[in-house]
Chain A
Amino acid sequence: MEAIENLAQQEYKEGWVTDIEMETTPPGLNEDIIRFISSKKNEPEFLLEWRLKAYNHWLKLKEPKWQFMEHPAINYQDIKYYAAPKNTPKYNSLEEVDPELLETYSKLGIPLEEQKVLAGVAVDAVFDSVSVHTTFKDKLGDLGIVFSSFSEAAQEHPELIEQYLGSVVPYRDNYFAALNSAVFSDGSFCYIPPGVRCPMELSTYFRINTAGTGQFERTLIIADEGSYVSYLEGCTAPMRDENQLHAAVVELVALKNSQIKYSTVQNWYPGNEEGKGGIYNFVTKRGTCKGDNAKISWTQVETGSAITWKYPSVILQGDNSIGEFYSVALTRNKQVADTGTKMVHIGQNTRSTVVSKGISAGEGQNVYRGKIQVSKKADGAKNYTQCDSMLIGDRCGAHTFPYIDVSNHCANVEHEASTARISEDQLFYCKTRGIPTEDAISMIINGFCKEVFQELPMEFAVEAKKLLGISLEGSVG
């Protein structure tokens, strides 16, 4: 059993800032800023128009207030919406890349060197608002797989972008989606051609760097008929004093007989013990099983951010399509998570599975908010939802808001929920077997999260287990 890191006493490891000269816009948002972003990226005309429509729609909207948590008001005019490293053209070899940037990547543990082909992971490293390098693009290209930055895809595959962008999360969907649609700077784009099984796990790393820069990533993944892709999203961020907004949008499109597996391990700076600083993670993630027999699985391990607000969802349009949501959300100190999923059953014989594990410690507040919707014509729909909460200490909270909305008379919807504590008795039991408190807590929590961890790709599962190592003095009982 590996030793468990004492997270409460250890300085947040990723707390450092890269010093490269950045080209940034002044703080504030208006049409000019948006035109600037679009022109910087040489975007096709339709994309600029789309951004502007989204922006004008956003102006009419008000921030939602139904969420569980409160946060200090966000001043949208105080955010810099664009930041790019000085030399933006793409590089053919790493020798041309700014060496400080490379150091950033190596500190993040991203293997960009050619030798790392053996690791078998293609990496699209997003540095703040601009994508700098994409590895293994050529190798994937042989299979017809497109894996690039969103900006690149807008230039090289505009027809795909035009067809699918906003088809799963329209800019009208919600306040933050509208904002993102107006100002998104970059993200990942992935297209898997028919019948192709992507041979490696695709992955992306994010980093929020410049002070006051909102992170507005846009990711679009399209799995054509009969294809398969597994995508990993993992984040780190440096220690900051001011709150940083992260309002990303991820859209997944799974055509007939295809499968998309999207896994996230999120470790954004959560704020210090007093709740100061920390990232606001307000994300819209949604997938559509457009074709029959399609399958989309979301697996997430959320341990960071001051506030996590996201509902990775699946629209089950195709017959026999399957949606899955596996989640572990940890809140401690003063973190809040309002997370869950929506499964919308539209086609025939659709199935959804939801397994949500919330762990609250310190004064953390964990909310599961889920909606299972079965529309009138969705015959044979089946859902299983399991929502488990683990409370550590007596100052934290777990809250559940399940919505079940069934309009069809032969749907089968199951909801189970449980609340548990790590009791003194359990810890004492472990001690009498020679297992110390920290190891015992880690073991118990890993056991609690097992069902979710086994859905993660191997290397992510290891990282996820590490992230859950906790040392909580005086908060057990």
Chain B
Amino acid sequence: MALLEIQGLCGGIRDQEIIKGIDLTINGGEVHAIMGPNGSGKSTFGKILAGHEEYQKTTGEVKFLGKDLFELTPEERANAGMFLAFQYPVEIPGVSNAYFLRAALNERRKYSGQSEMSAGAFRKFMNEKMKLVEMDPDLAKRAVNEDFSGGEKKRNEIFHMAVLEPLLSILDETDSGLDIDALKIVARGVNQQRNDSNAMIVITHYQRLLDYIVPDYVHVMYQGRIVKSGTKELALELESEGYEWIRQEAGE
């Protein structure tokens, strides 16, 4: 069974249709990169999948682990194994990272019929994950993203991902705002989590991230559609040619 099957997905915000027909299948063990110029609908695509209230699908079908995705609330999608790493991670003052993640993990476990993890067991589990993604232990004690630098926020997203062990991770422009060192740490953290059962959608502008998180497939979005798909070589082509030839090919 494919992790994610998308057929003819159209959708957008209020009266504006942004996604105009996407077909995509993602299987376990795969990393798909989504690239495209500004305004192509990359972020919207991620938000529709994750269930952001402001974005609606108009037509099309999406199956997540064989189930109709749109029958699930955003939190149910998360509990079922979907994860969205935000482009602009949100601050939650007064709520520690550790407390927040334990609550999230236990929601997930409850959903799948497992018992809750005790505070002690969670602390141990969390420490392992911190090592895995090279996370500063101090940041775990602090309130979620409060007063974090841009880089720290992005690394926190990857830490959240590690703790929740999702089946399908959508990384929305995780590389934006990162210097080269932070980029490498983030990429290492992501790569440490790749396995044969999970999959990732890596949404990015620039090819650079894909040097470190090597994709199996690259898709180029333009005006709400996937106009070209290929392997990692496609990303390199875009890097040297820019998006102009994509526009030309699309018949501008």
Contact = CB atoms under 8 A, between A and B. Distances in A.
Contacts of A430: 75, 92
A432 B51 CA distance: 8
A443 B90 contact: no
Nearest to A420: B93
Interface residues of B, number: 33
Contacts of A420: 93
A426 interface: yes
B143 interface: yes
Nearest to B96: A447
A356 to B, nearest CB: 15
A433 B94 contact: no
Question: Interface extent on A, as a size class?
Answer: 20 to 34
A420 B94 CA distance: 13
A182 B160 CA distance: 61
Most buried by B among A1, A423, A429: A429
B74 A443 contact: no
Contacts of A439: 103, 107
Contacts of B51: 431-432
B50 interface: yes
Contacts of B86: 429, 432
B165 to A, nearest CB: 12
Interface in B86-128: 86, 89-95, 99-101, 103-104, 106-108, 111
A372 B100 CA distance: 37
Nearest to B105: A434
B52 interface: yes
A450 B92 CA distance: 13
B106 A1 contact: yes
Interface in A445-466: 446-450
B45 interface: no
B89 A429 contact: yes
Contact of A448 (B83, B94, B164): B94
B93 A447 contact: yes
A450 B94 CA distance: 7
Contacts of B164: 433-434
Interface string B53-67: 110000000000000
Most buried by A among B84, B86, B92: B92
A28 interface: no
B53 A428 contact: yes
A1 B105 CA distance: 11
Residues of A contacting B: mostly: helix
Contacts of A443: 92, 95, 99-100, 103
Contacts of B160: 433
A424 B94 CA distance: 18
Interface in A417-441: 420, 423-426, 428-436, 439
Nearest to B103: A1
Most buried by B among A426, A430, A432, A443: A432
B174 interface: no
A474 to B, nearest CB: 12
A444 B54 CA distance: 21
Most buried by A among B51, B75, B78, B164: B75
Most buried by B among A434, A446, A450: A434
A348 B95 CA distance: 38
A446 B103 CA distance: 14
Given A428-B74, A447-B143, A448-B94, A434 B53 contact: no
Contact of B94 (A423, A429, A435, A446): A446
A446 to B, nearest CB: 7
A426 B93 CA distance: 10
Given A439-B103, A443-B103, A432 B94 contact: no
B79 interface: yes
Nearest to A422: B92
A449 B93 CA distance: 10
Most buried by B among A436, A439, A448: A436
Contacts of B95: 443-444, 446-447
Contacts of B83: 432
22 contacts: A423-B90, A426-B90, A429-B90, A431-B73, A431-B75, A431-B78, A432-B50, A432-B74, A433-B104, A433-B107, A434-B79, A434-B104, A434-B108, A434-B111, A435-B103, A435-B107, A443-B92, A443-B95, A443-B99, A444-B94, A444-B95, A450-B94
Q: Which 7 pairs between the two chains have the least Cβ-Cβ distance? A: A447-B94, A434-B78, A447-B95, A433-B104, A431-B74, A429-B90, A434-B107
Given A424-B53, A432-B50, A435-B104, 8 more contacts: A428-B50, A429-B92, A432-B75, A432-B82, A433-B104, A434-B79, A447-B94, A447-B143
